[in-house]
Amino acid sequence: MLTHLKRYVFFSRRMPTPIRLAFGLSLMVFVSTLVLMLPWVGVQRPLLLNEAFFTAISALTVTGLTIFNPGSDLSLFGQIVLLILIQVGGVGYMVVSVIVFRLIGRSISFADRLALRDSFDLLDLNAIVELTRRVLIAVFSLEFIGAVLLWLHWRPLLGDIRAIFYALFHAVSAFCNAGFDLFSGTPGFYGIPNDNFSLIVIGFLIFVGGLGIPVVADILIWFRHRRRQLSLHSRLTLIATAFLVIFGAAGLFMAETRPGATLASLPAPRALVISTFQSISARTAGFSAIDNFYDLSPSSQLLKISLMFIGTAPASMGGGITTSTFVVLLLALWAFARGRETPHIFGRSLGQATLRRASAVLTISLLMVVAAIWLLLITHPGAPLDLVAFEVISAFATCGLSLGYTSGLSILGQVVVGLVMFWGRLGALTIILALAQLAPPRLVAYPEAQILM
C-alpha cells in the first residue's frame, strides 16, 4: 500500500501544473458526489447520482445552478455539506492543500508552489505561502463580518438560532460568488430578502470576492504602505469592475423601469439599488433581488448574458473570460485603431504574450459556449434558444443565474452543463496549457505566409 502511495505522489508531482489543477478538481468532484449521496443529505430520500454529481460540480465551481431546491430538499446535514463545498470551491483546493501540508508539518514542494501559483494566476512565485495566509485571514474575516451583520438584521425574520446558520451560509455563498440560497425553500420567501440592507451587505461581499485574491492582497498592502502604488493589474481590475457595475446598473435601470417592466412600480432610489445589486450579482454570483426574475425584458437578459460572459477578475471567486481579458482586448483594439504596435496604459505597454493569451481565452471560450448551446439544442428538441444560451453562459461564468430551464434538462443535458461549469472554474487558459503540455515539442518551423483578413 505504501509503495502504491509513493508511486502516486511521484506521478502527481511529475504532472504539469494545469493537469494537476484539473485532476485535483476532478477528484474533489468525485469525493463530493459520494458524500452528497449519503442517506442523511436529502430530506425525503437520498440524492440520486445525477443530482449529487451536478450539485458537487456546482458547489465546487461556486456556480449555484441547481436541479432541486437546497432550502427544502436538503437536510441540515446536507446544507452544512453544501456550505463546506462552497467554501472549499471558493478558496480553492490548492489553498486547502497548503493548509494540510502546514498542519502535518510538511514543507511545500516547488511543484506544489507552481500549482498554487497557476491556480491564482500569480506572477511572483516567492510570496505564495505568505499570500495564502493573508488570503485566508481576509476571506474568513470578511465572511464573519458579513455573517454577523446579516444575523443581526435577519433575527426578527428567522429567529436567533436559525438566523445564525442562514447568515453564515449566505455570507459564504456571497463572498465565494456561489449564488446558492436557502430562502427559496423557506415558507414566506421567494429568494433572498431584497431589502436595502441585505442587498448592500450581500452585494459588498460579492463585489470583494470578485476582485480577485491578488487585488485584495494588493489593497491590504497599499493601506499599510500609502507610498506604495497599486499594481497595474489591480488598477485595471478596479477600473474595469467599476465600469461594468455602473454600466450594468444603468442598463438594467433604464430597461426595467419602463412601463410594464419588473421595476416600473418601485420608487427610483429603490429601483436603482436593485439594479446595482443585479449588476454586481450578474457577473458571477447568481443571486436575484427581483421576485419575477423570469419576466426580465429581452434587453436585460442580453445585458446580463454580456456581464456573465465577461465575469470577474482572475484568481477570484468568479468565472467568465475575466475582466483582464476584456480590458486587454479593448486596449489592443484601441492600439490597432491608433496604429500602435502594442497597447499602452498608465505608462506601461502590454507584451505580445499577454495579447495572445487574451485572444486564446476569448476564442476557446466562444467555441466552448457555442458547442454547449448546440449540444443542448440538438438533444432537447423544441428548446428555446434564448433560455439555453442564458443557462449555458451562466454555467460558463460560474454565475448561477437561471431562467428556470436547468432543472428541466435531461441527464445528458445536466452532464453538459456540469462540464461547462467545470471548464468555467478551471479557466480556458488552464485547459489550453494542459493540452499544450501533453503535445510533443515542435522540431520543425515553417515559413510565414499572409492571408486576407
Angle at 19 (CA atoms; ends 15, 22), nearest 5 degrees: 140
Q: Look up residue 429 and give its three cell numbers.
A: 487558459
| Segments in the chain below pLDDT 70 | 1-21, 92-132, 185, 225-228, 427-443, 450-453
Q: How many CB atoms lie within 10 A of CB 15?
A: 17
Give the integer Cα–Cα distance in Å for 30 and 323: 31
What pLDDT, on the 0 to 100 scale, is given for residue 130? 66
What pLDDT, on the 0 to 100 scale, is given for residue 153? 92
What pLDDT, on the 0 to 100 scale, is given for residue 431? 55
Domain that holds residue 251: 14-432
Shortest CA distance to 314 belongs to which of 214, 453, 415, 207? 214
For residue 422, tell me if it sits in a domain.
yes
For residue 128, tell me if it sits in a domain.
yes
For residue 444, tell me if it sits in a domain.
no
Number of domains making up the chain: 1
What pLDDT, on the 0 to 100 scale, is given for residue 27? 85
Angle at 121 (CA atoms; ends 224, 357), nearest 5 degrees: 130
What pLDDT, on the 0 to 100 scale, is given for residue 253? 92
For residue 451, tell me if it sits in a domain.
no
For residue 390, tell me if it sits in a domain.
yes
For residue 123, tell me if it sits in a domain.
yes
What pLDDT, on the 0 to 100 scale, is given for residue 60? 86
Give the integer Cα–Cα distance in Å for 223 and 236: 18
Query: For residue 42, what is the DSSP state?
Result: B
What pLDDT, on the 0 to 100 scale, is given for residue 204? 92
For residue 450, tell me if it sits in a domain.
no
For residue 417, tell me if it sits in a domain.
yes
Instruction: Give Cα 67 distance to the centre of its chain.
Output: 19
| pTM over 0.85, yes/no | no
- Is-contact 281 293, C-beta < 8 A? no
